[in-house]
Amino acid sequence: MQTISLVAPAKVNLFLEVTGKRPDGYHDLSTLFAKISLADRLTLSAEVAEQESLALQITGPLGAGLQADDSNLVLRAVRAFEEEFQITLKANIILEKHIPMGAGLGGGSSDAGTTLLALCQLFDKDPLLLLPRAAKLGADVALFLYPDTFLKGEGIGEKLSPIAATGPLPWVVLVYPDTAVPTKGVFGRLCLSSPAEILTNISNLDRLLVALTSGSSLEQYNSLLFNRLEEAVLPYVDSVREVKEDFKALGVRPLMSGSGSTVFALTPTLEQAKNLAEKINKQGRKVFVAHFGGTKNENN
């Protein structure tokens, strides 16, 4: 039985505009994903077998409360791999959880995508063949089949284009207020903006992409960071709103990631990030300092 161990990175959304609602109830997005060094770890042993046998063990500081049953995205990802390549597996998986759940950081999606990546490496398969199945597992799962740190997402987030950022990248201070925000409720409260405002914001996303690819400093593009879903969360979830207000009081520009509940801010240096993390920390919050990327070299 072969064994592989990979990190499953969290993501933040540096930009997120909702551009429309689809007949199937999903929403079309225009977003910029960025993978960060806060990560779960997945250790997977697998071999081809006559009869399927899958075992999942969940460990780590944030593993409590996560079910290791057939509803878990990791096991669903294994079955998607089996179906795609018409093989039956015996697999033992250990998932070490460090990413909070319901936090807008894509932890479950990353675990599923990294499971697919691990199986592809073990059995010499092309992970991009799994993109349609990944999208069915969850809108963000396909993101984690790419090695790139930054990806522009369209559709429901599954149409992805890698972005090659250059220059010194900022550090990320993340605050999870120990409150899970269900995505479905957020989109249920959301009101679409006017076509003119959406077009303006899409133009701002284009400017943000130019800034990142041309090596601009954080000061030059920080004002372009945006998340439409904040207006469907901040008025309704006190703990998320308070984190954002505390960040502002410390003189930085915060942004909620995805549909919440994590709020983050960028700083030019690690020293500034550590100072900010110390000041923003309060009882009931989990605070992380991370950098962009960090998984491409480790996983490849």
Domain containing residue 246: CATH number: 3.30.70.890
Is there a contact between 54 and 88 (Cβ–Cβ < 8 Å)?
no
Task: Give the pLDDT band of residue 295 (cuts 50, 70, 90).
Answer: low
Residue 157 sits in the same domain as residue 60:
yes
Across 168-182, b (16+ Cβ under 10 Å) vs e yields ebbbbbbbbbebbbe
Give the Cβ contact number of residue 226 at 10 Å. Answer: 18
**Strand (E) or helix (H) holding 277:** helix 270-280
Residue 197 sits in the same domain as residue 52:
no
Q: What is the mean pLDDT of residues 226-247?
A: 97
* Structure tokens, 194: 């006017």
- pLDDT tens track for 47-79: 999 999 999 999 999 998 888 999 999 999 999
Residue 224 contacts by C-beta under 8 Å, 6 or more apart in sequence? 15, 204, 205, 207, 208, 211
Q: What is the mean pLDDT of residues 196-213?
A: 96
d(CA 12, CA 104): 7
The pLDDT, as a whole number, for residue 234 is 96
Torsions phi, psi of 35, nearest 5? -80, 145
The pLDDT, as a whole number, for residue 294 is 57
Determine, yes or no, domain membership for 96. Answer: yes
Residue 178 annotated as catalytic? no
Q: Does residue 233 register a pLDDT over 90?
A: yes
The pLDDT, as a whole number, for residue 296 is 47
Q: Does residue 300 register a pLDDT over 50?
A: no
Residue 11 annotated as catalytic? yes
- 231-233-236 Cα angle (round to 5): 110
Q: Which of 11, 35, 97, 152 is catalytic?
A: 11
Q: Which of 111, 140, 152, 246 is catalytic?
A: 140
Looking at the structure of the chain, the number of domains it has is 2
Q: Is the pTM of this model over 0.85?
A: yes
Q: What is the mean pLDDT of residues 158-176?
A: 94
Which CATH number belongs to the domain containing residue 39 in this structure?
3.30.230.10
Is there a contact between 37 and 294 (Cβ–Cβ < 8 Å)?
yes
Task: Give the pLDDT band of residue 24 (cuts 50, 70, 90).
Answer: confident
- pLDDT tens track for 86-106: 999 999 999 999 999 989 999
Determine, yes or no, domain membership for 297. Answer: no
* Structure tokens, 197: 């405002």
Print the domain residue range for 286.
171-291
Residue 173 contacts by C-beta under 8 Å, 6 or more apart in sequence? 264, 265, 266, 267, 273, 276, 277, 280, 287, 288, 289
Residue 95 sits in the same domain as residue 242:
no
